[in-house]
Amino acid sequence: MLGYDFSSAGRFQTAVTFLKNPHLFGTGTNACYMEQMRNLDVLDGDEGRMCVNTEWGAFGDDGALEDLRTNIDREIDAGSLNPGKQLFEKMISGMYMGELVRLILVKLARDQMVFQGKTTPELLTTGRFSTNEEGLANADKVLRDLGLNPSAEDCKATRRVCQIVSTRAARLCAAALAAVLRQIRDNKAAERLRITIGADGSVYKTHPGFSRRLQKMVRRLVPDCDVRFLQSPCGSGKGAAMVTAVAYRLAAQQAERQRILDTLRLSREQLLEVKRRMTDGIVLGLSKQTHEQTSVKMLPTYVRSTPDGTENGDFLALDLGGSSFRVLLVRLRSGKRHKVDMHQKIYTIPQETMQGTGEELFDHIVQCIADFLEYMGMRGASLPLGFTFSFPCNQSKLDEGILLKWTKGFKASDCEGKDVVMLLKEAIQRKQEFDLNFVAVVNDTVGTMMTCGYEDPKCEVGLIVGTGTNACYMEEMHNVELVEGNEGLMCVNVEWGAFGDFGELDDFCTQFDRSVDDCSNYPGKQRYEKMISGMYLGEIVRNVLIDFTSKGLLFRGKMSERLKSRGIFETKFLAQIESDRLAMRQVRSILQHLGLTGSTCDDSVLVKEVCSVVARRAAQLCGAGLAAVVDRMRQNRNQNQLDITVGVDGTLYKTHPHFSSIMQETLQDLAPQCRVTFLKSEDGSGKGAALITAVACRGNNQGQH
């Protein structure tokens, strides 16, 4: 039998009842304790705990105690109202202990061992013997009340029988209780368990030796448990009221938690609306007349085709999108089994350089390229370079990129509004150690599409879900009004991270989204990205946890100073917390890292739910945006059913255990006429940049550009 989950129980995780009064419901003995939900196969759900009513009075009904039962136990059972039932209870509880003593005394009298072999009608009457008093004077009084004329030896013998019966009962009970304590200890994976047991019942409270014997034996059987017994004043009256009060309080708190989390849950209708608004933004962004009226900028990339396997040669790639960046040498070999060899080194950009002058930033980048060429034994070489520049750019040709705005913590001066290729070439001129004969400005999303396109010709969409998020796809040239020409295709960089900057997502944003946005480097910008990407999800979770704690719904209302620190709840924690269905210990360790050393198992369950809700919304929003893209491609091509491959990269997509599946389910639901295959990109920003450059060089050699 199962009961309510008492989050306020603290160290009270076990309760035992030893009842004697036959008028009480459940007369006899029983125990309950807090069990892990994952162990309760009879219920759905595996998080948190629930109070389990062991109903241990029925232990032995299956024959498990047969070798411990005596003939007198069997005689009592046979004469009971429920033969064969509640066998453990019949060996322990006050209702049967007195009867055990009476039958033993009757047998001893008939064997001429007590009372001079005499019995009385009272002694032969069921239910006339009490075990609560073990003193010699009390024994004399009890026996005389039974019509006997006991000697001092009779009293001693009777007292000894009472001690033996009550000691056996206490020890049997201790053995069962030890099993419960070991289960609790194993659940916690604790070397030593500290626990309090609430005890009630007339035998426990009034019998002069029972509680002492029970406690002594429990401590002998489970020496690795520090057990404290606390006597309940009124378990059935006050306890029932407390159950009701706690249940009411918990229900009210749970309702408030769900009300808050519901603001982060999106219905299918809301997701369809996000898809519709993204579609509208795409249309506006492609049009020359309405391009400035939308947050979805639809930037032309001047990439006109995907790889065909004939690309050949050595190419440099520069991958800049964060505080660390890579320089790569990519060697492409064409043929039936086209081959790619890559060598790379990773360099860091100091914080002061990220936020210093543009000249300092690009001088640092060029110094790193020179170091790499020296490392590869290619000093002074002149090679084509694919420059993966993962920031919003406006391109009028492939070898030009006008930086629109810095993101991801960069603030280098005198760069926004300028051509990053020229900034790079000017820095090379200052260095004068090597040259680049062609530079292609590459967006990491396009690089992802090209890398996967090298493996799968049907890959015409690129998607990034990592620190940031973005998408690109092959659009019909006649729709790309910002570029001359109507024939063929061109890859368009959606720059969908900025979707919502014109208010398109205001009715979906919560107080937590607004808080994250207000404290970001660019308030009001990249609103869609701030609801999806790895850079912000942890911060959304942290704000939810702070709100819950301030309202007394989490951590008993006690806030840690570390939890108040912006950025302390890293997005990688979401993946860790959701990665293992039994990861409560891992959740606890993360909470301890946040200074929440007193967090409970129930706190861990709630933190996991918050992470799940935030990550699910992010995946659904991403799926809704992607549904808008692939449905547009299907309509562009006048196809009833579109088969398309999406190349994907990004740590959030690759490492979160549920993000990809939720996103794909949402996409399938919102764009049912598109059969979409997802292909994980292997180094889109490095290998992909080289492939874009190689395709461009191939086109130049063929006189196409």
Query: Active-site positions?
Result: 326, 390, 444
Determine if residue 680 is left, alpha or beta; phi over 0 gives left, psi from -120 to 50 gives alpha, anything else beta.
beta
By DSSP bridging, strand 469-476 and strand 459-465 are antiparallel
Q: Which of 259, 265, 260, 253 shows the shortest CA–CA distance to 546?
A: 260
- Asked if 93 and 27 touch (Cβ cutoff 8 Å), the reply is yes
Q: Which two tokens stand for residue 578?
A: 């959701």
- Asked if 84 and 77 touch (Cβ cutoff 8 Å), the reply is yes
Please tell me the distance from the alpha carbon of residue 148 to that of residue 6, in angstroms, as a whole number. Answer: 52
DSSP summary character for residue 668: H
Give CA separation, 657 vs 271, 575, 615, 705, in Å.
22, 6, 10, 44
Decide: helix, strand or coil at residue 69.
coil
By DSSP bridging, strand 435-442 and strand 382-389 are parallel
Decide: helix, strand or coil at residue 151.
coil
H-type alpha helices, 93-237: 94-110, 136-145, 152-188, 202-206, 210-221
H-type alpha helices, 337-419: 351-354, 358-375
Q: Which of 131, 142, 201 shows the shortest CA–CA distance to 167?
A: 131
Q: Which of 649, 392, 623, 412 shows the shortest CA–CA distance to 498?
A: 392
Please tell me the distance from the alpha carbon of residue 581 to that of residue 593, in angstroms, as a whole number. Answer: 21
Helix (H) or strand (E) holding 701: helix 687-701
Residue reference for tokens 């050393």: 597
Q: Which long-range contacts (CB under 8 A, 24 or more apart) does 475-478 make?
A: 475/286, 475/298, 475/636, 476/636
What is the residue type of 494?
V
By DSSP bridging, strand 12-18 and strand 193-200 are parallel
